[in-house]
């Protein structure tokens, strides 16, 4: 999948004491003294790109772990009249799955949130709620608006809501999972009658999770091409 340059500062070198560098692209965003190594220069990636990349890795790993989980199921005692299997005292694999799934969801959505705000130009004006608003006000709008009407305005691309509503639905699913992870109720027991809607049940059934990271990448690509 094609990605825009993920570095905050990039461009073409206009002048340099080294004539061979003139006209060449650069992405050098920071030069610093790093004792005892002296002056070093390096490209500083946008935070949103780091979050999306790390989150994608975690979701991919969660999918792999989930595929192995059935191997560790054992019969367990339960008040449920139907036979129940679980992971008993050895739940390391299950915990690993939930850890990667939760981290991946939070990281990828954070990356998309940051990207959708970072990309709004300072001089952009968009009519929202009958008012002509600029960047400071537009950033405060929710993610759904920033990846639809506002992103369409700064990019010149078609509004995602109009051209790919299924992709928008996936992003809102990702947001719903993130919201429920952050506000999961503290309960010691979920019965079979109440657990299907819990965030952990939804994570275990939602396959593959990597699709959600792909949806984030697709939004970035749609408005960046």
Q: Residue 9: is its pLDDT beyond 90?
A: no
pLDDT at 60: 97
Q: What percent of the chain has pLDDT over 90?
A: 56
User: Residue range 37-43: average pLDDT?
Assistant: 85
Q: Residue 6: is its pLDDT beyond 80?
A: no
Q: Residue 7: is its pLDDT beyond 80?
A: no
Q: Which of 14, 3, 6, 10 is nearest to 26 (CA)?
A: 10
Sign of CA dihedral 144, 147, 153, 158: negative
57/108 Cα distance (integer angstroms): 10
Given a contact cutoff of 8 angstroms between Cβ atoms, the answer to whether 97 and 66 are in contact is yes
First vs last Cα of the chain: how many Å apart?
11
31/211 Cα distance (integer angstroms): 38
Q: How far is CA 182 from CA 98, 105, 177, 178, 185, in A?
A: 14, 11, 9, 6, 9
15 pLDDT band (50/70/90 cuts)? low
pLDDT in tens, 79-102: 777 888 888 777 899 999 999 999
pTM above 0.75, yes or no: yes
Residue-averaged pLDDT of the chain: 86
pLDDT at 204: 92
1 pLDDT band (50/70/90 cuts)? very low
199 pLDDT band (50/70/90 cuts)? confident
């Amino acid at each position: 999948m094609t990605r825009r340059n993920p570095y905050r500062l990039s461009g073409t070198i206009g002048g340099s004491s080294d004539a061979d560098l003139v006209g060449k692209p650069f992405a050098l965003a920071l030069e610093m003294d790093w004792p005892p190594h002296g002056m070093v220069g390096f490209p500083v990636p946008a935070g949103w790109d780091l979050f999306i990349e790390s989150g994608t890795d975690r979701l991919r790993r969660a999918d792999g772990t989930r595929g192995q989980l059935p191997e560790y199921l054992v019969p367990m005692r339960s008040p449920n009249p139907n036979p129940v299997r679980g992971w008993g005292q050895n739940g390391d694999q299950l915990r690993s799955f939930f850890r990667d799934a939760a981290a991946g969801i939070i990281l990828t959505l954070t990356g998309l949130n940051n990207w959708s705000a970072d990309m709004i130009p300072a001089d952009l004006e968009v009519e929202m709620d009958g008012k002509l608003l600029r960047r400071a006000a537009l950033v405060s709008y929710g993610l759904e608006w920033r990846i639809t009407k506002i992103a369409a305005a700064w990019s010149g691309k078609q509004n995602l809501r109009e051209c790919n509503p299924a992709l928008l639905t996936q992003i809102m699913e990702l947001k719903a999972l993130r919201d429920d992870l952050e506000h999961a109720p503290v309960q010691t027991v979920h019965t079979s009658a109440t657990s299907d809607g819990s965030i952990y049940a939804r994570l275990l059934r939602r396959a593959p999770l990597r699709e959600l990271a792909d949806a984030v990448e697709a939004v970035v690509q749609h408005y960046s091409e």
